[in-house]
Amino acid sequence: METTAGAATEKRTRRERGAGRIWRRGTFFWIQYYDQHGRQVRESAHSGTLEVAKRLLKRRLGEREAGLLPDRTAHRVTVDDLAQSFLQDYRNNGKNLRWAEKCWNHLKPTFAAMKAVHVTTDDINRYIEKRKAKKASNATVNRELACLRRMFTIGMQCTPPKVQRVPIFPARLKEANPRSGFVDDTQYRKLCENCREAWLRAFLAVAYSFGFRSRELLKLKVRQVNMLERTISLEPGSTKNKEGPTVKMTEEVYLLLFECIRGKGSDEFVFTWKDSREVLDFRGLWASVTKAAGLPGLLVHDST
């Protein structure tokens, strides 16, 4: 039942529909306002103090004007809903969608059906425990959780927001130093001898000679390779320090790259499979090459 003060407040605020209204019901004050779609919303202030209710109403009206008013259906949003926005972001921005989908496929059994508002730090810790029990590396788990965090971030940045918070994630798992264990000339030759794919042989030569990272090389296009001047140029922003270095080819690199780009257009990738498909993931091939060379477990970074 509304109090006399509450009834007076209701009578006063009804004359100003856009300003909302406040009334008391039992222990707590309640507020009422209209969202950006003209739908009536009633919400408890969870407080018996009128000033608290006034501040909440003022905040909601401000969020409405800014288009940031929480969606009334936000409590029904699942992590799968957030994942679809995340994958759409990868498609729209030309990112590595296959990699994002692979991460989501690991996350999906645990989180897909969960309501986003119900995801807790404990849930994330249980996921980590589950993945480590399946022998997933710390680096792999960190990448998967980075995707999950990004899903919540994108959800918060929507209009209206799909979620109001990002769960607190545990500290990143400690990863092995990816740059440790550099190969020497003898090991490099062993790797070369066991490269059956022409593109991988050339890839290895460029990586070993200039220290470029694998993701930089896999995105290398024919137009960045000048066979007349014998140079390779990375585009600005593609490297870790955002610069675009140009290097002079060695004779070995020149001969191997010549075979890789022969017959290709300027916008085609330098390193491709035999059927001209872009190389997105070659971990299986790399594992077989390192095993055959007597260097099992060697990371791609170690050869650069």
CA angle 234, 238, 239 (to 5 degrees): 85
DSSP code for 32: E
How many domains are there within the chain? 3
89 falls within a domain: yes
CB contact at 8 A, 84 and 90: no
239 falls within a domain: yes
284 falls within a domain: yes
174 falls within a domain: no
Residue 299 makes CB contacts below 8 A (sequence gap 6+) with 178, 181
CB contact at 8 A, 110 and 130: yes
- Pairing between strand 40-44 and 28-34? antiparallel
> Can you give the CATH number for the domain in which 277 is found?
1.10.443.10
Distance CA 61, CA 282 (A): 53
pTM of the model: 0.47
User: Which residue range forms the structural domain that includes residue 298?
Assistant: 185-303
pLDDT value at position 99?
81
Distance CA 182, CA 85 (A): 40
Q: Alpha helix locations (H) across 134-178?
A: 138-156
Tens digits of pLDDT across the chain (304 residues): 344 445 444 444 443 556 889 999 999 999 998 877 777 888 888 889 999 999 989 988 887 787 666 656 666 889 999 999 999 998 898 777 888 899 999 999 999 999 998 899 999 999 999 999 998 888 889 989 999 999 999 998 887 788 878 899 999 888 755 444 457 788 888 999 999 899 999 999 998 888 788 888 999 999 999 999 899 998 765 444 445 578 888 899 999 999 999 999 999 999 999 988 999 889 889 889 989 988 887 877 545 4
192 falls within a domain: yes
**28 burial level (CB within 10 Å; 0-12, 13-18, 19+):** middle
**261 burial level (CB within 10 Å; 0-12, 13-18, 19+):** buried
pLDDT value at position 10?
44
Q: Do residue 249 and residue 270 come from a single domain? A: yes
Sheet containing 40-44, strands listed edge to edge, beginning at the edge strand earlier in sequence: 21-25, 28-34, 40-44
176 falls within a domain: no
* Phi/psi of residue 232, nearest 5 degrees: -125, 130
Last residue of a domain, one of 32, 66, 100: 66
Q: Do residue 192 and residue 276 come from a single domain? A: yes
57 falls within a domain: yes
* Phi/psi of residue 75, nearest 5 degrees: -70, -15
Paired tokens of 49: 């103090």
pLDDT value at position 302?
44
Q: Do residue 62 and residue 82 come from a single domain? A: no
Query: 3-class SS at 226?
Result: strand
CB contact at 8 A, 32 and 41: yes
169 falls within a domain: no
Q: What length is written for the chain?
A: 304
